């Protein structure tokens, strides 16, 4: 399909998204409809990516490990924060630590992880996974910290999303 065939699709000025979409599917040709579907799919996929940056430190505050994970189809920043917390718990388990202390900048996620009640929010399955894994530790504590305290983790997450590449480093 030539680009010139898409001018009809972009020339129609309908401010409401659903009205425009209904018009496009009624009046456009099959190749134009396919192009619209592919475009919407690409936009949705690109917009729903998130990443987490995890930094593990020892008692002397020295970085002993770091991880960046990229997630596809994350519906909200709230869900991305929950995924980051789950990754931190998994990382503690993989490092065979018995006592861990997790700091996060999402007070809602931290509260849900420490709550005794069953979570019913959009992230309930992630919170359930965190609570299941946390039984493996002798001691696990969650604490809310201001976003500036998690600066290194934010840099790791941002850079990994730009590069579209996750990583795990031990001793770095």
Cα(172)–Cα(161) distance, rounded to whole angstroms? 19
Higher-scoring residue by pLDDT: 29, 123: 123
What is the β-pairing status of strands 139-144 and 99-104? Answer: parallel
Model confidence pLDDT, tens digit, residues 82-114:
988 998 899 888 888 888 888 888 889 999 999
Q: Which residues pair with 103 in a beta bridge?
A: 143
Q: What is the pLDDT of residue 103?
A: 84
Q: What is the pLDDT of residue 42?
A: 56
Q: What is the pLDDT of residue 132?
A: 94
Phi, psi of 67 (to 5 degrees): -145, 140
Cα(75)–Cα(84) distance, rounded to whole angstroms? 14
Model confidence pLDDT, tens digit, residues 124-148:
999 999 999 999 999 888 888 876 6
Structure pTM? 0.64
Question: In the predicted model, is pLDDT for residue 9 greater than 70?
Answer: no
Model confidence pLDDT, tens digit, residues 64-85:
788 888 877 777 778 888 988 9
Mean pLDDT of the region 10-21: 68
Question: In the predicted model, is pLDDT for residue 167 greater than 80?
Answer: no
**Contact between residue 28 and residue 36 where contact means Cβ atoms under 8 Å apart:** yes
Task: Give DSSP secondary structure letters for the chain.
Answer: --GGGGHHHHH---SSHHHHHHHHHHHS-HHHHHHHHHHHHHHHHHHT-EEEEEEEE-TT--EEEEEEEEESS---HHHHHHHHHHHHHHHHHHTT-SEEEEEES-HHHHHHHH-SSPP-STTHHHHHHHHHHHTTSSEEEEEE--GGGGHHHHHHHHHHHHHT--EEEE--
Q: What is the pLDDT of residue 133?
A: 94
Task: Give DSSP secondary structure letters for 105-141.
Answer: S-HHHHHHHH-SSPP-STTHHHHHHHHHHHTTSSEEE
Highest mean pLDDT among 36-50, 79-93, 137-151, 155-169: 79-93
Domains and CATH numbers, the chain: 34-164 (3.30.420.10)
């Amino acid at each position: 399909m030539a680009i010139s065939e898409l001018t009809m699709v972009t020339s129609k000025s309908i401010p409401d998204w659903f009205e425009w979409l209904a018009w496009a599917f009624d009046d456009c040709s099959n190749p134009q409809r396919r192009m619209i579907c592919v475009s919407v799919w690409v936009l949705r996929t690109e917009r729903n990516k998130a990443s987490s940056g995890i930094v593990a430190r020892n008692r002397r505050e020295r970085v002993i490990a770091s991880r960046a994970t990229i997630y596809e189809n994350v519906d909200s920043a709230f869900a991305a924060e929950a995924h980051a917390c789950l990754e931190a718990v998994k990382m503690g388990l993989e490092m065979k630590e018995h006592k861990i202390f997790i700091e996060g900048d999402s007070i809602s996620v931290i509260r849900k992880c420490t709550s005794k009640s069953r979570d019913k929010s959009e992230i309930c399955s992630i919170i359930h996974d965190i609570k299941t894994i946390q039984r493996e530790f002798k001691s696990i504590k969650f604490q809310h910290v201001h976003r500036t305290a998690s600066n290194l983790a934010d840099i790791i997450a941002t850079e990994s999303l730009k590069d579209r590449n996750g990583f795990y480093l031990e001793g770095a």
